[in-house]
Amino acid sequence: MNRSPIWHPFTQHALEPTMKRIVSTDGADLIDDEGNRILDAISSWWVITHGHRHPAIMEAIRAATEAYDQIIFAEYSHEPAERLAEGLIGLAPSGLKHVFYSDSGSTAVEVAIKMALGYFHNRGEPRDRIVVMEGSYHGDTIGTMSVGERGVFNAAYEPLLFGVDRLSFPQEGREQQTLDMFETFCRSGRVAALVIEPLVLGAGGMKIYHARLLAGLKEIAERHSSLFIADEVMTGWGRTGTMFACEQADISPDILCTSKGLTGGALPLAATLCTGNIFDAHLSTDRRKTFFHSSSYTANPIACAAAVANLDIWRSEPVLERIRNLEALQRQNLGRFEGDDRFANIRQAGTIAALDLVVRAGGYLADIGPRTRRLLRERGFLIRPLGNILYLMPPYCVTADQLGGAYDAIDEVASIILERP
């Protein structure tokens, strides 16, 4: 078979075989062109929540195509966008009053950064510093790479990236050090915003920290009149056990970013929610204070209709019960590896489970990652390790047998990798 002309994301084509084609999806499974079922144990990069092709979302998409395609959103509005905005404000932490649509998690965070800087610029306050946490990932646009961890992923683009202030990751027992660092940064009077993944750093290694740290950071931000931006692109829509991770710290961010599970994973869509104060700082008869951001497909009506259907699923189906069941299944399966010297740092946050394979050479670029992924795929499981870090984040419809099979495969593959009998 000739190689496809497609350039795939995060793929080194010189090392990867020709990719198999998926011909359909069903529940928690992908089905390839040979009829093999592959358990989507990472929700196709964390987007699929209820399961692939949920009937209500598919029907909403079909119905929307009878009335809509793309509509310029700088000139008009439409019913799916209006209904979705009202629903999001009703679900989100209190105080968020306005919704700005975009296309992906990266753009949602990019919008948030621009909102924060625009807020202070329009108020005539000289604040230009962004604070982030080490090891974080917020996207692959220039702004989101700037606020993410620096490394091999963005070394080639370093001349384009702006400087930020970085907090140390709050290791258990050392949380105060992180809080003290943030306090010091804020005392400069230049901090516009903190951008943070609440409770779990996703692509940075599924690192988990306590909700009290999140609450402490919010208190410091408020005291110094800096904005708090919650990047809930991955952590939202039940992944950490609550609709949004911020709920577990009992805080309301000034800006909240959401995408991935917003449409249940069916179509690309993102939203950045903000407080009235941030919107009002851009509201003026002076057109220079306009929020200058857009994309051609802002608030695509079909994607918005899918998201409205997703909100209805959360209202009408026992989604939280499914999440509780999945949390219990993850906890039960992780338990089999307690005390197993092949694994370290076994951890869980809601429906997210992770564990580190103990190897001599870890890190994202270690050969252990691609090798483990291939062995798991051969056994019918889509699991993409972050180097030597294995994690499972399946759709909420996954069954006990399916999830147990994934852990069986991890058990087997770990022994092969480590050459244990």
Neighbouring residues of 2: CB distance < 8 A, sequence distance ≥ 6? none
Cβ neighbours, 10 Å, residue 67:
12
Query: Is 357 in contact with 388 (CB distance < 8 Å)?
Result: yes
Neighbouring residues of 243: CB distance < 8 A, sequence distance ≥ 6? 91, 236, 237, 314
- Both tokens of 336, joined, read 């089999």
231 annotated ligand binder: yes
396 annotated ligand binder: no
250 annotated ligand binder: no
Question: Among 275, 254, 207, 212, which Cα is nearest to 235's?
Answer: 207
Cβ neighbours, 10 Å, residue 290:
12
347 annotated ligand binder: no
Q: Tell me the CB-side half-sphere exposure of residue 87, using CA atoms within 13 A.
A: 21
260 annotated ligand binder: yes
324 annotated ligand binder: no
What gap in Å lies between CA 236 and CA 246, rounded to an integer? 9
44 annotated ligand binder: no
Query: Is 216 in contact with 175 (CB distance < 8 Å)?
Result: yes
102 annotated ligand binder: no
94 annotated ligand binder: no
What gap in Å lies between CA 231 and CA 272, rounded to an integer? 9
- Both tokens of 303, joined, read 């994607």
Query: Is 229 in contact with 254 (CB distance < 8 Å)?
Result: yes
**Known binding-site residue numbers:** 45, 105-106, 137, 231, 260, 294-296, 384
**Known binding-site residue numbers for pyridoxal 5'-phosphate:** 105-106, 231, 295-296
**Known binding-site residue numbers for substrate:** 45, 137, 260, 294, 384
